[in-house]
């Protein structure tokens, strides 16, 4: 029986690389898309033409009822979720002086509340079966802070607090909970940063002198999802080219 992996926000960027890697390792891969996303069908068709066999379901990860309905549908049509990757996230960058409640709430609900909303749907089943993997995708900026990202940094740091507390609760039951904190990865979100800013401000801070590749983070997710990673829990693994060490 191949295991079922659910990756939130799996269309494009890091999520897509994670989906591809897990599919290559034999997982049945399911991803979510925002209910307003008009291009999900094209993405799914193009991926499945390459033989990945992905399934995709609408889910507003910031909404508990939507998360519940999504996971129930996945359980019915694909199977119970063995691996959950909480990857969906947004940025609404601005200085704290300019930040309003709307942009604070949007980032907190999509990046942090979503972690509760999705994990709540799958955790009990993992405990009952005695096996499960919960992998939370945070950020280097949750570890070190970033100018103009009080909302994002708070949400991403909060994810790891969640990881540590839940890891303690489920450790004896064969379920692991871990955080990955990527640095600057060459995804659309990062490539949207003006080239001169990347070249003058960001790349010089990375000792390796380059952006990370989505596939490099996906490889780490694959390891955490594996049987070999059974003794690793409650960790926050930095994958940032040496940009931030702690």
Which of the residues are catalytic?
152
> Which letter, b or e, does each residue of 108-134 get, where b requires 16 or more Cβ atoms within 10 Å of its Cβ?
bbbbbbbbbbbbebbbeebbeeebbbb
Q: Helical H runs in 80-137? A: 101-108, 114-129
Contact 184, 190 (CB under 8 A): yes
Contact 92, 76 (CB under 8 A): no
Residue recorded with tokens 């989906």? 19
Contact 33, 56 (CB under 8 A): yes
Residue recorded with tokens 């309905």? 69
């Amino acid at each position: 029986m191949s295991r079922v992996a659910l990756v939130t926000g799996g269309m494009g960027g890091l999520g897509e690389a994670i989906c591809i890697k897990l599919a290559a390792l034999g997982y049945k891969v399911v991803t979510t898309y925002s209910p307003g996303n008009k291009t999900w069908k094209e993405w799914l068709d193009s991926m499945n033409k390459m033989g990945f066999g992905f399934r995709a379901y609408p889910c507003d990860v910031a909404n508990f009822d939507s998360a519940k309905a999504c996971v129930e549908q996945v359980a019915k049509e694909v199977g119970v979720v063995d691996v959950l990757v909480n990857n969906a996230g947004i940025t609404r960058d601005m200085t704290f002086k300019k930040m309003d409640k709307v942009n604070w709430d949007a980032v907190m609900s999509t990046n942090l509340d979503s972690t509760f909303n999705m994990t709540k749907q799958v955790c009990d089943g993992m405990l009952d079966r005695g096996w499960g993997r919960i992998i939370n995708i945070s950020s280097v900026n949750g570890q070190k802070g970033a100018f103009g990202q009080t909302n994002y940094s708070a949400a991403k740091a909060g994810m790891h607090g969640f990881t540590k507390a839940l890891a303690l609760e489920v450790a004896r039951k064969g379920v692991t909970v871990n955080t990955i904190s990527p640095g600057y990865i060459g995804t659309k979100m990062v490539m949207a940063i003006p080239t001169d800013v990347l070249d003058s401000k960001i790349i010089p801070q990375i000792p390796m002198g380059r952006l990370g590749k989505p596939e490099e983070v996906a490889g780490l997710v694959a390891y955490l999802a594996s049987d070999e990673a059974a003794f690793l829990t409650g960790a926050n693994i930095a994958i940032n080219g040496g940009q931030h060490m702690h």
